[in-house]
Amino acid sequence: MVVPVEPTLEQPSIDVELHRRLVYGDESALREAYAAYGALVRRVAVRVTHSQAAAEDVAQEVFAQLWASPYGFDARRGSLRTWLSMLAHRRAVDWVRSEARHRKDAQADDSALHAIPDAGPGPHETVVDRERSLLLHTALAELPRSQREVVHLAYFAGRTYRQAAVELGIPEGTAKTRLRSALRKLAASLADPPDPAAARGA
């Protein structure tokens, strides 16, 4: 099977066929799904977790879920690409939250802070930015599905808004509007965090 890089009108039927093989327990279908979308799933996970090891865990969970419960994906509701991307994002946000909880539990232990991978500027600044980033990703995970799909295609999967529109089967203007509404909502969530404690995993 060939999964085209450029979105095409055939994508839905490719997803339908791949899903059919997954349902009927065809291992090679899982390999193809991984070859086509493994890099995207890892990219999403790394961007949220900043950790290759965490991204590995997320990828394992995502593809295990696709294999064990293929009916979780419904080709009538969207593409496999966006479904996997959104699932990876949700799992990655969960991973960071649970990390944050552990970190909080181990607050007395100073070393926990230094254990954060890829520490950038100063430890304190990093932690604040990480919390704001988690806040944003949490807000992104809670956007309406129609907006989330466009964000995932345009931001994580590297599509132009026009390509995203084709892939989602919506007018270009709608894709632009959804992307804009989504991003403005995210920007607003930073200015006015709903519940910072939630993002820290309290």
DSSP-derived secondary structure for the chain: ----SS--TTHHHHHHHHHHHHHTT-HHHHHHHHHHHHHHHHHHHHHHH--HHHHHHHHHHHHHHHHH-GGG--TTTS-HHHHHHHHHHHHHHHHHHHHHHHHHHTTT-THHHHTSTT--S-HHHHHHHHHHHHHHHHHHHTS-HHHHHHHIIIIIS---HHHHHHHHT--HHHHHHHHHHHHHHHHHHHHS-S-HHHHTT-
* Nearest CB to another protein, comparing residues 105 and 142: 142
- Are 46 and 52 in contact by the 8 Å Cβ rule? The answer is yes
Binding map of another protein across residues 41-70, x = CB under 8 A, - = no contact: -xx---xx-x-x---x--xx--xxxxxxxx
* Closest to 65 measured CA to CA, from 83, 43, 42, 47: 83
Query: Using CB under 8 A, which of 117, 123, 144, 158 touches another protein?
Result: 158
Query: Using CB under 8 A, which of 10, 162, 194, 198 touches another protein?
Result: 162
Determine the size of the site formed for another protein (CB under 8 A).
70
Binding map of another protein across residues 116-155, x = CB under 8 A, - = no contact: -------------xx-xx--xx--x----------x--xx
Q: ∠ CA 12-42-27 to the nearest 5 degrees?
A: 55
Q: How far is the CB of 108 from another protein (least distance, A)?
A: 27
Q: Does 198 bind another protein (CB under 8 A)?
A: no
* Nearest CB to another protein, comparing residues 46 and 201: 46
Q: How far is the CB of 128 from another protein (least distance, A)?
A: 9
Which range binds another protein by CB under 8 A, 34-42, 102-110, 194-202? 34-42
* Residues in contact with another protein by the rule CB under 8 A: 5-6, 16, 19-27, 30-31, 34-36, 38-40, 42-43, 47-48, 50, 52, 56, 59-60, 63-71, 74-76, 129-130, 132-133, 136-137, 140, 151, 154-155, 157-164, 173, 176-177, 179-180, 182-184, 186-187, 190
